[in-house]
């Protein structure tokens, strides 16, 4: 009986813990990135055009490694601000996945 209870507890607890560690990137992207990169990642916003930001859907961005994208988000690049200390590593990782999924 105790083994069954433990198994059920693990089946419930593990997905909940995993969900907490994997934030939804869409609202983070909207709040932190869309002003420059646009809702679709195309960079066709007034700020994006003025700063000549890359289209996040481009082949050049898609071929970048997850580590390279995470480094840019963390440390900033050019006029892009750094998000180290403003976003958690899990949020940055979620953003990398979100950017890779843009079409």
The predicted-structure confidence for 24-48, as pLDDT tens digits, reads as follows 999 999 999 999 999 999 999 999 9
Domain assignments of the chain as residue spans, ordered by start: 24-101
Average pLDDT for residues 9-30, to the nearest whole number?
63
User: Long-range contacts of range 3-9, CB-CB < 8 Å, 24 or more positions apart?
Assistant: none
**13-23 average pLDDT score:** 49
**What digits encode the pLDDT tens for the residues 51-78?**
999 999 999 999 999 999 999 999 999 9
Please report which residue ranges of 38-88 form alpha helices under DSSP H: 46-51, 59-62, 66-75
Q: What angle do CA 85, 20, 99 make, to 5 degrees?
A: 60
The answer as to CATH 3.40.640.10 being correct for domain 24-101 is no
């Amino acid at each position: 009986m105790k083994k069954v209870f433990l198994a059920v507890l693990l089946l419930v607890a593990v997905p909940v813990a995993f969900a907490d560690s994997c934030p939804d990137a869409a609202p983070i992207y909207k709040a932190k990135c869309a002003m420059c990169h646009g809702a679709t990642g195309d960079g066709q916003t007034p700020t994006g055009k003025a700063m000549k930001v890359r289209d996040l859907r481009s082949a050049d961005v898609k071929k970048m490694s997850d580590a390279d994208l995470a480094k840019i988000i963390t440390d900033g690049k050019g006029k892009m601000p750094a998000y180290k200390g403003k976003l958690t590593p899990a949020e940055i990782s979620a953003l990398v996945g979100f950017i890779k999924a843009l079409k």
